[in-house]
Amino acid sequence: MHAFTYHRPTSVADAVAKRSADADASYLAGGMTLIPTLKQRLAQPTQVFDLAGLADLKGIVVTDGAVTIGAMACHADVALSADVRRVIPALSDLAGTIGDPQVRNRGTIGGSLANSDPSADYPAAVLGLGATIHTNTRQISGDDFFKGLFETALKPGELIVKVSFPIPKRAAYMKFPNPASRYAVVGVMVAETAQGVRVAVIGAGACAFRLSAMETALSKSFSVAAIKDIAIPADDLNNDMHATAEYRAHLVGVMARRAVAAIA
């Protein structure tokens, strides 16, 4: 591990100001990605700003129309929240499938989204439910947030403070997990929202994406039959030791049909 200076900022403003003054500094949320990369000497930040003590970044609030989750809420907080379970059970289910108990009690929603791992689960909920990412300076639509492999719309030093999920009419999340890591080989969120049907996929591509063909078909007939013949092109999908692009394309269809069946 390379040497760095460790800080525990006292406020969001303090963290952002100090981080912005050093282009080579990093935020530390749950540390599920940063700590391993530091140990493997794959990252070399000059300073690390630990956000664990910032109460403003924690908590879950449910209103009539949305669930708002603080960026430092851990996955277990979301999975075990009775309020989340009551209004968006699919989001609670999704959080409960992430990693193992140790990961769920350390990893955070803000850290996961800022990292934008192609196999991370929360991006499926952000796209599938039409969420909004709130940072220290602005609001970013979920549809505009994920840009590519480990790439998001966040600017250098910008910090996620909370995420707002509109409450859908109904939704379900299904994933095919890697048996060792529990990362999604493929995961699909299907939701019927006030703005229409949304289908979001993770694990298959460089980042989370939506399937417009399935959304259109399900808008006409919300049934498994409506999407059973929709072919998923494998051209731009991930191809690695865990699954070929063709297998991932097949899994997208399978997980989507299971999600629709769970809802319907």
Could you report the average pLDDT of every consecutive run of 10 residues in the chain (264 residues)? 94 95 95 94 95 96 96 98 98 96 96 97 98 98 98 96 98 96 95 97 98 98 97 96 97 98 94
CB 199 within 8 A of CB 256: yes
**CA-CA distances (angstroms) from residue 219 to 171, 254, 264?**
14, 19, 13
Q: Which two tokens stand for residue 16?
A: 């952002």
Distances (CA, A) of 247 to 155, 175, 201: 35, 14, 14
CA distance to 42, 127, 223, 241, per residue, from 204 (Å): 25, 14, 23, 13
CA angle 12, 29, 162 (to 5 degrees): 55
Structure tokens, 87 = 């209004």
Please state, in angstroms and rounded to a whole number, the distance separating the CA atoms of residues 207 and 47: 28
Residue type, 24: D
DSSP bridge partners of 112:
none
Give the predicted TM-score (pTM) of the model: 0.95
- Among 132, 163, 202, which residue's Cα sits nearest to residue 29? 163
Domains located in the chain, CATH noted: 1-55 (3.30.43.10), 58-263 (3.30.465.10)
Among candidate residues 85, 79, 112, 91, the one with its CA nearest the CA of residue 200: 91
**What is the spatial distance between Cα 19 and Cα 208, in angstroms, rounded to a whole number?**
27
